[in-house]
Amino acid sequence: MTEPSAARAWAVIGLFERPEDLLRAAARLRGSPLGRVQAYTPYPVHHLDEALGLRRSPLGGMVFVMGVLGALTAFAFQYWMSAVDYPIVTGGKSPRSWQAFVPITFEVMVLFATLTAGLGMLFLLNRLPDIFHPMLASRAMEKITRDRFALALESSGGQGVDVDAAKKVILELGAQEVEVLPLPAPAPAAPLNFLLGLGGALVAACVLAGYSTYWVIKLYPELPPMSHMERQPRLNAQSPSGFFKDGRGMRPAPVGSVARGHRPYLIKTPEEAARLVNPLPRTTETMEKGRVLYAVYCRVCHGFLGDGRTTLTSAYGAKPADLRIKRLALAPDGTIYHAIMVGKNAMPSYAYELKEDERWAVIHYLRALQRAQDARESDIP
Amino acid sequence: MDNKISRRRFLGLMGATAAFAGACSRPNRGKIVPYTRRPGTVPGAPDKFASVFPEAGRAHPVLVVTREGRPIHVEGNDLHPDSRGKAPLRAIADILGLYDPDRLRQPLVDGRRSDWGQALAALRPAFDAARKSGKPVLLMTGATSSPTRRALIAELGADLPLSWVCWEPACGPQERLSLEHAKVVVCFEADILSGEVPSWVADFAKNRRGGTLSRLYSIEGGFSLTGSKADHRLRLKPSRAAAAAMALVRALSDPTGAGLDGFAKENGLSVDLLRGLAADLARHRGAAVAVCGPALSAEAREAVSLLNAMLGAQGRLTARSPEHAASTGLGTVKEALEDASQGKFSAAVFWGVNPAYSFPDAALWKRALAGVPVKARIGLHVDETALECGLVFAENHWLESWGDHESDSGFLTLQQPAIGPLYDTLQGEDILLRLFSGAPRPEYRLYLEEGWRKKVYSTGGGSFESFWTACLHDGLLRREARPTAAPKSRPRSAKPSATPDGFELVLSPGLAVFDGRYGGNGWLQEIPDPLTKQTWGNALRVSIADAGRLGLRDGQVVKVDAGGRAVEIPVLVSEGQTPGVLCAGLGYGRRTGNVARGVGTNLYPLLDCDSTSPFLLCGVSLTPTAAVVDLALTQGHHRMEGRDIARSVPVAEAPRSREPRNIPTMYPAQDFPLHKWGMAVDLSMCVGCSACVVACQSENNIPCVGPEQVRRGREMHWIRVDRYLLGEGAALRAVSQPMLCQHCDDAPCETVCPVNATNHSPEGLNQMAYNRCVGTRYCANNCPYKVRRFNFFEYTADKEEPEILAHNPEVTVRPRGVMEKCTFCVQRIQDVKQIAKTQGRGVRDGEVMPACAAACPASAIVFGDLKDPVSRVNSWSDDPRGYRVLEEVGAKPAVTYLAELTNPLEGEVRHG
Amino acid sequence: MAEALLPEGLREPALTDGAITLGELDDRVLSVPETRPPAKWFAAFALTSAISAVGLACIAYTLYTGIGAWGNNSPVFWAFDIINFVFWVGIGHAGTLISAILFLFRKRWRNSIARYAEAMTIFAVICAAIFPLIHVGRPWLAFWLFPYPNQRALWPNFRSPLLWDVFAVNTYFIVSLLFWFLGMVPDIASMRDRAKDPRLKFAYTALSVGWRGSAEHWQHYEKAYLLLAGLATGLVLSVHSVVSFDFAVSVVPGWHMTIFPPYFVTGAIFAGFAMVMMVLIVVRETMDLKHLITMYHLEVMNKVILGTSCLMGYAYMMEGFTAWYSQNQFIHHAFKQYLWGAYGWAGWTVLVCNVLIPQLFWSSRLRRSYPSMIFVAAAVTIGMWFERFVIIVMSLQQDYLPSSWRLYQPTLIDFGILLGSFGIFFSLVLLFARVLPVIATTEVKAILPGYQPAHGGDHDRA
């Protein structure tokens, strides 16, 4: 029934004095073919939603779902962190002591639910923020937020509202004044510039954040008094020291002092050493010990069988002693001990590598090797 | 094709990278400085040197633990019968003395830094003058137990006219005891359990574990550790000790013991207790010993040795202290200084004594100084005496010195350095050797070796080298101890010398600072006195009755006047003190040293130079002043408030079987796969000497926080010795309870840490991840034992060398804001586990020794694996006397305490 | 129907003095931010910010030197730091209670004071949040309390009540902030429409996210508000319960009590109302809002104070009873020394200030006179601070082993920080009073007489 020639507007707003008038008008105008009926009030007016026939708000359902989700998330994470990912025993409690997770589960549930209720209402249901909504540009708005009650016919689907018809209807409903928001909606105050500015600000913020993060991470640990315990005021093994003149943290033992287990080796000649007797009993474990130590320190030169034939010989032409020869087989333990202590020919001293009993153990094993070379019937058990 | 430039570019890039790396490098990047010549020591593994801690004519055989050639810990020499692996408190703590930043670093001439050439050259003329003129040189030293040093000084005496005064300012005659077979011990004002001599404590403790207990009587005016441990305490004025001893002598001679009653009455003692004591002694002839305190008069000493003679203790349980240890009294020193003031000496050398501080008569000291043209000081610090001597010779610390000593039971014991001199210093003997006339002498090490080759070494065994190195290795000459001559006892009835009315004041060397020489040692200053729990200073201990009469309260400063000699000192009202008797420690109130200066009060000025028993002052008067100071005490409450914390039961009522305590719990049972470390402490053996505290401090890099922080209640000791008073009046006893982290299975502290910084190890250790700790302090609040310590300030991390050289490299140093606590010496546990692993065996029982257990002279602390069914800790934990402190809280502590056993006389004995 | 259960005084709704139109309301409330503050405001603000400066200086000193700057010692490892934390969190609770719980109870008198109360919640929680942060030994690592993925592969200990605190307090802050902001959106919208300066207008537009007050808006808005109120109510009860767990979950005698959660919540509301009371009186006088914040409001709040005070008395009694009935010597001792220990005077202060003095409010005359209100409110604030002192310090200083008992002595720094927190709080309050609508005008508009459609069901909102 609206002729296309007539003037069209984005919205036609009528202002009322009292909420009752608004309600009455809303009920009457409801479902009008002229456009979408919308009401604006300074505060929530009761029964307006019924008058306009709005659907119930779905917020409750959303909040419930998110709340449950929050609770589940919190509990699952706590359980995973404490019982699955890295269980740490504290206070003798079981890693799966779920009772302890209840408080945080509750808090997170509330957090999720609240954020849903608040932000969901604003952003999802009310489609805010929308600071360039045409309505905000209207003169009526400041009356509305103060003390007027507005009823508006708004263009749905962009083809506008028939101004005259709408005016007529709204005035009939007893609106004191009517405002027409022309179509197309008046362009908001340079939203493009605004958006550009916003974008620029965001980029700048990101760059700034990046730089500051970098520097903070780089310098943060160095700032006093923040200690991260990397500096330990003590002298570890092999560390330098500004205190001693030679700059070494490790000190030589004082001349002439004898530490426990470090009796100096006073014997000068093999002949002297010949007196020494092997203090260790010839037992299986001594033999075993000797075997291991021989393998570690001696075998590389003297060979598996003590025959002095090893890769060294082939590779470098070195000639380690053949330990099986008669002279050595007959030599007393002491002389061999002496050789281990002070070295022989090309062989260096092994006093540092082998402790006293270890040397004797090696000698036992060496004897076994020598016997093994020319074993007699009687040796076979 | 462009290989050559690519190489260039590569190098360039490398350079850039290096530069960048350098630019953003953190402090102390790991830099390695190895040994150039490989010594026997393995980096990272400790070495042990047998040596001797010489103190006031007594030789304590010790093992010095070194890391990469730096001493970090001191233990007792385990091979030596006189120490049996236990070192006294001050020996353990003197590691800090070695690295004391206050130490002299080179000789001084007229207060200016100098070198040895100049310094010695400055003294020689005086010595030459002495040789020409015959005017003697005064050499004042401390008492020494070293034969070779005495020989050296004698030799010097032959080289030039020398008058040698050997003086110990703080200690009277020393006893030589062996309590091993003593069933009854009577102490007259003698504190044998102070831990001064570990072997005494060890022997005593051995006789206090179940079976037939020995019985300890303490007849004393003050309240000593011995008194606190005694089965019967008799509160008696020290001046009456001689009379008491004589009364007992008479009682022993006539079985009726009628003489006792009179004595008991006139001294307010319980008759039947005294009779009981006499009877007990009579019963145990041959196994009973009486000990006379160092402060007592000569007649008391005579009386006690007479008593010992009658008890048959002479020679068996006691031995007359060797002549050398007996330092000449104050009288001799006074004469020497009189002579000095009259210019009878051409020079004076003070070595190891500090008369400017410890000689009572300051005026005489000044005159003496004026009378001597050349004065030299041989010492470690610029102390009071050094300030007044033109020549100051920087001396080696004992850990840098050689020597030989006669230990208590007469064993020849060798002292060897564990580290070369840190500074340009010489040991005292070397200085003397350089002052001889004629050809230059060898250094003291060779002199010593030479001496042994001549005197000690008996041919027959191996070569001298092997003999010598063996002695150095073991630390002593394994040879039968020379029997000490039993002194002839002159039976003489001690007539009680008329004592003027007024207080009697007993002065004793401070447990921590001794005669003052350790004043600069923070660890020692911060050790709470076992009974008063006072740190950082001394106080005059006053009985409650006297305090009430004079209206004194803790910390109130009083003027002490002893025959015109007066000092002002704060009082400490102490229960157990006999009314009319005052006690105080010497060695405080030093005037020099960054740490020692101004801590406590110097009481030497009270001493009477002419008295034969200078440490017992009679007729002392007190006048309160308005001033009140805040004493740094670590324990404010002395009673258990009826709580079941430290148990003490008479042996008769000792529990026969462990009463089961099953606390209901909702927690699952934990399983410990390999080990479950645990500890047991026998309160019956623990005497509270606090050696464990120092050992722990040295082992675990525990900072010392200073008096202000102690007053605020922020001391850091991981193990503390709680002291609770039991009984009333004369029957007052004290039980000492070492309190450390109990490593609870269901530890309350672990649950509440928001960042998991403290949690439970699979070996049952309650462990701290220091660097994870953010310092909410919740754990400490929730610890029922309050054994957690918080770094309220930066105590350690900003320290520098040489101080930090004392730190144990095995233990993390904790910075400010971090919670810390006992770890059961986890570093030692790990060491042992590694060793066991390399040897392919399990950990043996007793192999893991926490520092406290290792140091405990009584061996009252046992540590081990509770999963090992035959371990000692297991058997102790199941002991009928065993219990856990605050078990009802349900934390399942891993430390078991064994109730203290006391052995009072049977029957109803009123305490007197 | 909820009203019928309530005492006479609460039922009679004289919510504004005299008739007032919507426009007048706006003019009275919203004009405040548009005018230049008076000199006395500047004076007050200078004073409070000076005080906060002192506090911040003390905090800086603490951060640099360490917790040793405070009086804390062993065994009293927590003292002023946690006392102040609990105290301020408690203050906050009144705000949430007034805006949320009373909202659920349809108490319309809340509308004119809710905004203030909520603001105070925010500020109080800000003050409270300072303390857990600065009281840790290594504040620079405090972020370790949050469960964030890190290269150490470590998580916090979810069994520790402190961690529950972290979540509770943060949630509480976020929720309160949201609640506050949502309530303010329509008011900011009307400020937007009052604003002349385009830049200001734009700012308000952005702040009010373009609120239009359309029927849908209001519909969803009211639903959301109702839900938020419900959630906030649950939250406020949980938060102080969780705070009380810090103590109740531990083994310290005097802390380990099942009564703590309700006891703490009540105490929080009690203290909070006292604080709101003091601030309201000042605001009412200085910003001529007598017509909107009427004597009736104050009196109702006084009744709440009276009620909660009686509850506190009951709680104290129960503590004593538990101590006696449990036959546990440790708890017994703890409670004994609350009143007869070294700091017994603090215990008595608590009883007098929290239980005795509020009894004055039985007389309606005193309920309606400024001096008595201020006196009681001040007494309650002091009393509640000391209550936390008693609980925290006095329980700690004598716990299990007598050997470790030790007295606690605060330092000047402690007092400086306490003072500073008050300075910060009041600075924020003053700022708020000038730049934002101090009264929820839309909510008040909705309940002004005659401004709801005359027909149809009850006149309540929602």
Predicted confidence at residue C266, as pLDDT, reads: 94
Please report the domains of chain A, with CATH numbers, ordered by start residue. 1-186 (no CATH), 270-372 (1.10.760.10)
Give the residue among B906, B905, B902 at the shortest CA–CA distance from B684.
B902
CB contact under 8 A, B816 and C403: no
B800 to chain A: which residues are within 8 Å by CB? 233
B428 contacts: CB under 8 Å, gap ≥ 6: B351, B352, B378, B393, B395, B396
pLDDT of residue C35: 87
Q: Cβ of C212 under 8 Å from any chain A Cβ?
A: yes
- Give the integer Cα–Cα distance in Å for B554 and B629: 8
Q: Does A275 touch chain B if contact means CB atoms closer than 8 Å? A: no
Per-residue confidence at B798, pLDDT binned at 50, 70, 90?
confident
Residue of C144, C160, C337 best to disrupt the B interface, most CBs of B under 10 A: C160
Query: Could A45 and C174 be called an inter-chain contact, meaning their C-beta atoms sit closer than 8 Å?
Result: no
What number of CA atoms fall less than 13 Å from residue C1's CA on the CB side?
Answer: 1
Average pLDDT (A33-54) is 89
Tokens matching residue A198: 């916003």
Test mutation, C163, C167, C173, C451, chain A, max A CBs within 10 A: C167
Rounded CA separation B165/B144 (Å): 12
What is the average pLDDT across B674-685? 95
ipTM of the complex: 0.89
Residue C218: burial class (beta carbons within 10 Å; 0-12, 13-18, 19+): buried
Contact C309, C376 (CB under 8 A): no
Q: Minimal CA–CA distance to B431: which of B467, B465, B394, B460?
A: B394
**Confidence at residue B339, expressed as pLDDT on a 0 to 100 scale:** 93
Q: What is the mean pLDDT of residues B137-153?
A: 92
* Set of chain C residues whose Cβ sits within 8 Å of the Cβ of B643: 329-330, 400, 402
Q: How far apart are CA C269 and CA C250, in angstroms?
A: 24
A63 and C227 within 8 Å at the Cβ level: the answer is yes
| Predicted pLDDT of residue C293 | 84
Residue of B24, B38, B70, B752 best to disrupt the A interface, most CBs of A under 10 A: B70
Q: How many CB atoms lie within 10 A of CB B440?
A: 8
Neighbours of chain B (3+ CB pairs under 8 A): A, C
- What are the residue ranges spanned by the domains of chain C? 13-146+155-461
> Where residue B492 falls among pLDDT bands split at 50, 70, 90?
very low
Q: Is B769 on the interface with C (CB under 8 A)?
A: no
Share of chain B above pLDDT 70, in %: 92
Which residue, C175, C94, C79, is CA-closest to C408? C79
Task: Calculate mean pLDDT across residues B158-164.
Answer: 92
pLDDT in tens, A129-141: 888 888 888 889 9
**How distant, in Å, are the alpha carbons of B119, B154, B438, B446 from that of B159?**
20, 9, 10, 20
Q: What is the pLDDT of residue B728?
A: 86
A231 contacts in B (CB within 8 Å)? 27-28, 797
A positions 48-107 inside 8 Å of B (CB)? 88-94
When CB atoms are compared, the residue of C74, C246, C407 closest to B786 is C74
Residues of A in contact with B52 (CB under 8 A): none
pLDDT < 70 regions, chain C: 1-19, 454-462
Of B643, B720, B774, the CB nearest to C136: B774
Q: Chain A: nearest CA to C156, how far in angstroms?
A: 8
Q: How many CB pairs under 8 A join A and B?
A: 185
Rounded average pLDDT over B864-870: 94
Using CA atoms, how far residue B587 sits from B325, B536, B568, in Å, is 20, 11, 15
Residue C458 has a pLDDT of 42
Lowest mean pLDDT among B360-369, B482-491, C356-365, C447-456: B482-491
pLDDT at B482 (0 to 100): 54
- What would the pLDDT profile of B78-88 be if each residue is shown by its tens digit? 999 888 999 99
> Do B761 and B669 touch, CB atoms closer than 8 A?
no
Q: Which residues, 6 or more positions from A322, have their beta carbon under 8 angstroms from its beta carbon?
A: A306, A307, A308, A309
Q: Neighbours of C (≥3 Cβ pairs closer than 8 A)?
A: A, B
Look at residue C393 and give its three-state secondary structure: helix
Buried b (16+ CB within 10 A) or exposed e, C102-113: bbebebbbbbbb
Domain formed by C13-146+155-461, architecture: Up-down Bundle (1.20)
Higher pLDDT, C452 or B412: B412
Of A45, A133, A147, the CB nearest to C21: A147
- pLDDT for residue B417: 95
| Burial category of C431 from C-beta neighbours within 10 Å (exposed 0-12, middle 13-18, buried 19 and up) | middle
pLDDT digits (tens, 9 = 90+) for A85-94: 999 999 999 8
Flag whether pLDDT at B25 surpasses 80. Answer: no
Per-residue pLDDT tens digits for B274-299:
989 999 999 998 899 999 998 998 88
Q: Which of B67, B420, B797 sits opposite A233 (nearest CB)?
A: B797
CA dist list (Å): C455 to A46, B601, C450: 10, 93, 11
Does C152 lie at the interface with A, CB-CB under 8 angstroms? no
**What mean pLDDT value characterizes chain B?**
89
**pLDDT of A1 over the 70 cut:** no
Residue C24 confidence (pLDDT) = 84
Alpha carbon of C358: minimum distance to chain B alpha carbons (Å)? 33
Cβ–Cβ gap A41/C215 under 8 Å:
yes
- Please report residues of C whose CB lies closer than 8 A to that of A87: none
The Cα A170–Cα C142 span in angstroms is 63
Smallest CA–CA distance from C406 into chain B, residue = B636
Q: Residue C22: its chain A contacts at CB < 8 A?
A: 42, 146-147
pLDDT higher than threshold 50 for residue B488: no
The answer to whether the CB of B243 falls within 8 A of the CB of B868 is no
User: What's A283's DSSP letter?
Assistant: -
With beta carbons under 8 A apart, name residues in chain C contacting A112.
none
pLDDT, mean of residues A292-317: 85
Tens digit of pLDDT for each residue in B46-74? Answer: 999 999 999 988 899 999 999 999 999 99
Name the residue with higher pLDDT: B494 or B317.
B317
In chain B, residues with a C-beta closer than 8 Å to the C-beta of C65 are 793
Q: Which residue has the higher pLDDT, B908 or C126?
A: C126
pLDDT for the residue numbered B521:
94
pLDDT at residue B494 greater than cutoff 50: no
- Residues linked to residue B375 through DSSP beta bridges, in sequence order: B348
Q: Do C401 and B739 touch (CB under 8 A)?
A: yes
Distance to chain C for B545, nearest Cα, Å:
24
The predicted model gives A153-159 an average pLDDT of 80
- Record: contact B758-A90, CB cut-off 8 A: yes
CB contact under 8 A, B41 and A257: no
Number of cross-chain residue pairs from A and C with Cβ atoms under 8 Å apart: 210
User: Where is average pLDDT lowest: B72-86, B315-329, B730-744?
Assistant: B315-329
The CA–CA distances, whole Å, from B504 to B291, B614, B622, C35 equal 20, 12, 11, 84
What's the average model confidence in pLDDT over A99-119?
96
Beta-carbon pairs below 8 A across chains B and C:
163
Q: How much of chain A, in percent, has pLDDT values that exceed 90?
A: 34
CA distances from C224 to C118, C171, C206 (A): 17, 18, 21
Residue that the structure tokens 């060397």 belong to: B509
- CA neighbor of A141 nearest in space, from C439, C217, C435: C217
- Cβ-based contacts of A218 with chain B (< 8 Å): 24
